[in-house]
Amino acid sequence: MKHTVTFLPDNITAFVNQGENLLTAAAKAGVYVHACCGGDGVCGKCKVLVKGEVRSDKANLKQEDWDKGFRLACRSTVESDVEVTIPELTTKGGKALKRKPKTTRTVSAKALDSLVGKWDIDPPVSKLYLELPPPTIEDNIADMQRVMRGIRQHWPDPRDPYYDLPQLIKYLPRTLREADWKVTLLLLRGRHKGDPFRIIDIEAGDTTGKLYGLAVDIGTTTCSGVLINLHTGEVLAESSGYNGQISFGEDVISRIIYAARPGGLKALQAKVVATINAIIDDICRQLIISPSDIAYMMAAGNTVMSHLLLGIDPKYLREAPYVPSVSEFPLTRAAELGLHAHPSTRLFLYPCVASYVGGDIVSGAHACQMAKSDKVSLFIDIGTNGEIVVGGKDWLVCAACSAGPAFEGGGIQYGMRASTGAIEKFKIHPESLEPMLVTVGQTKPSGICGSGLIAIVAELLENKVIDQQGKFRHDLDTPRVRQGSSGWEYVLAWKHNSMIGEDIILTEVDIDNLMRAKGAMYAGYRTLLESVGLSFADLEQVILAGNFGAYLELEQAICIGLLPDIDRNSFYYLGNASMLGCQISMTDMNRFRERDGVRQLMTNMELSESPDFMQHYMAALFLPHTDMRLFPSVSKKLEDV
């Protein structure tokens, strides 16, 4: 149910879901509310006057304020149409602050449901329950032939399944007899349409109710898993965690180098296997199931991550002409890699295109059906390694550029994943320079996630706390801008308002790391477009993918120069495209079979070999860019301050 929230005195109206936090609603509407503690209710700064029904508690409010209708925005959820009056802010001397914060509404990318399309429930594995007659002197055919006869009697498909596993034959006789000849077969579909099914396992009793598939996104920084009910396509549970390989290097180049050391490749493989196992175990604990209940695994990752998972030496991915060992990975038994799974469970890895354009991008382009679209699209996966695809149904050109881990909280002094306590939304008062912080989970802040970092830098730039080179002004009358141990910095949260008991700051080094990351991405788009004779004006769709993209606000991303300054209606949001592609393929075999056509349509361009890329990169190391003609709306904003 939607409710109307009107913020006064600016008379800004927002439509929010019932139960939405009032402070979050204000942030989305672009309304500044003084809030220092991230939404934990301890600073008491976000006091607002409410008319209408909200669910709230007194927290740090005095009784007299409560009786007058004041509530803490961070401790209130919307239960009806409400009117919210934000009190006038004053200086320490009691004078009203003259300059009001600008109201900048959140402009979000559109959902991509129309382009992702529908998919059927037709998974790559299925189960068949059989009740077989036990053998007798008169009916004494072999055990496997008895199973095959039972299949013919109950199986609607005219093609007989086949078996090719010696292990299956070894435990088949005992399983049949211990189960009183009541068993469930796990059947794997053929790779090509028309191929027969293969019997890959036999289980005692009727286990047809348990048919689970695990989709896995193997990211350089973060790995994620989603468990799917393959009968319904429903997502049952999910989990994620840092890729354990980070201890050997934050980017793929560092890991390729480490893999060349004695025992390095084995150690890297063990780390990513342990990371995926932790995800599997967490998901199984949530549902109280066993890892052996997972019938199939489908994964996607960049080329380096895929090589490392399979224990393939990635050395030549880094050396010209940048050739992977294999582009189509073999169907693998998950348990043989050390993954917590039944011995029969298969793991499918999405195919890669080139050394730095991997299965995660093929999976994403596959999910949004770029290869079927009549429109010219720019697909962007923003992460540690930024990958880009341009084109439509007749051609696709792709490239990769190393953005670094800044977008996922890496390389930032107080950076963290988008988990509880991460600052995800930020506004600043233009006169007092006091912040409005909203954290994931509305708790005291613990650090800064990628979307929060973009929001902070955009707000600091728009309010001229930093210049276009990312340097802090030294003449500002605020204790929040100060000289720190590593240079000038802005204090986002004082230690008494933080979860970690110390000041949470943003430094010029942090801003520089973000500028390098966004500069690499922007230079990549521009170089790839120019390589096919296009410019940003030719784009009909910009599809945003990546783990942190769900919280990315277009205006802020454009303000710092991460995204091109074009019509906002051109932007679509896909989220974790790699995971979505795996989920679709896990559920619908027909959609799954389209993946090779997507990969074959993609032509890779090596940006590291392009002199144009380096020129565009150097030009983009500015907020938003050295050529402000490319960012007309941002230029106007900065002039109006």
- Which pLDDT value is given to residue 550? 58
- Band of the pLDDT at 301, cuts 50, 70, 90? very high
What CATH number has the domain spanning 125-204? 3.10.20.880
CB neighbourhood size of 496 (10 A):
12
pLDDT, mean of residues 462-477: 95
Whole-structure pTM value: 0.82
Which has the higher per-residue pLDDT, 103 or 589? Answer: 589
Write down the H helix ranges in 288-358: 303-310
Residue with tokens 């019932």: 18
Strand-pair partners of 48: 71
**Is pLDDT above 60 for 108?**
no
Q: Kindly report whether the peptide bond that precedes residue 166 is cis, defined as omega within 30 degrees of 0.
A: no
Each residue's pLDDT tens digit, 173-195 = 999 999 999 999 999 987 777 78
Q: What pLDDT sits at residue 411?
A: 84
Cis peptide, bond prior to residue 611, ω within 30 of zero? no
Lowest mean pLDDT among 72-76, 92-96, 308-312, 549-553: 92-96
Q: For residue 436, list its beta bridge partners.
A: 35, 427
Q: What distance in Å separates the CA atoms of residue 135 and residue 417, rounded to the nearest whole number?
A: 59
Residue 493 contacts residue 38 (beta carbons within 8 Å): yes
Q: Is residue 544's pLDDT more than 80? A: yes
pLDDT tens across 559-579, in order? 999 999 999 989 988 888 899
When pLDDT is averaged across residues 369-384 and rounded to a whole number, the result is 89
* β partners of residue 599: none
What is the model's pLDDT at position 153? 87
Supply φ then ψ for residue 250, to 5 degrees: -85, -20
Task: Pick the range with the lowest mean pLDDT from 6-20, 172-186, 423-437.
Answer: 6-20
Q: What is the pLDDT of residue 549?
A: 60
- Among the four given CATH numbers 3.40.120.10, 3.30.420.480, 2.60.200.20, 3.20.20.70, the one describing domain 212-349: 3.30.420.480
Q: What's the order of all strands across the beta sheet hosting 447-448? A: 435-439, 422-428, 447-448
**pLDDT at position 96 over 50:** no
Beta strands in 353-509 (DSSP E): 377-381, 385-391, 396-402, 422-428, 435-439, 447-448, 481-484, 487-493, 504-507
d(CA 541, CA 529): 13
Q: Residue 82: is its pLDDT beyond 70?
A: yes
Number of Cβ atoms within 10 Å of the Cβ of 535: 12
Least confident of 67-76, 292-301, 308-317, 596-605: 67-76
Beta bridge partners of 346: 296, 333
> In CATH terms, are 125-204 and 212-349 the same topology?
no
Cα–Cα distance between 85 and 70 in angstroms, integer? Answer: 9
pLDDT, tens digit, 9 for 90 and up, residues 15-62: 888 888 888 888 888 888 888 887 777 788 888 898 888 888 877 788
- The Cα 353–Cα 368 span in angstroms is 17
Nearest-5° angle of CA 275, CA 279, CA 284?
145
Which homologous superfamily is 2-87 in?
Beta-grasp domain (3.10.20.30)
| Selected residue with higher pLDDT from 547 and 96 | 547
Kindly list the domain boundaries of the chain, sorted by start residue. Answer: 2-87, 125-204, 212-349, 369-641
Q: In the chain, how long is the greatest CA-to-CA distance? A: 103
Residues 271-296 have pLDDT tens digits of: 999 999 999 999 999 999 999 999 99
- The pLDDT score that the predictor gives to residue 137 is 93
Phi, psi dihedrals of residue 466, rounded to the nearest 5° = -120, 155
Q: Around Cβ 508, how many Cβ atoms within 10 Å?
A: 18
- Pure H helices in 593-631: 595-601, 611-619
Mean pLDDT value across residues 300-315 = 95
Is pLDDT at 105 greater than 50 in this prediction? no
**100 falls in which pLDDT band (50, 70, 90)?**
low
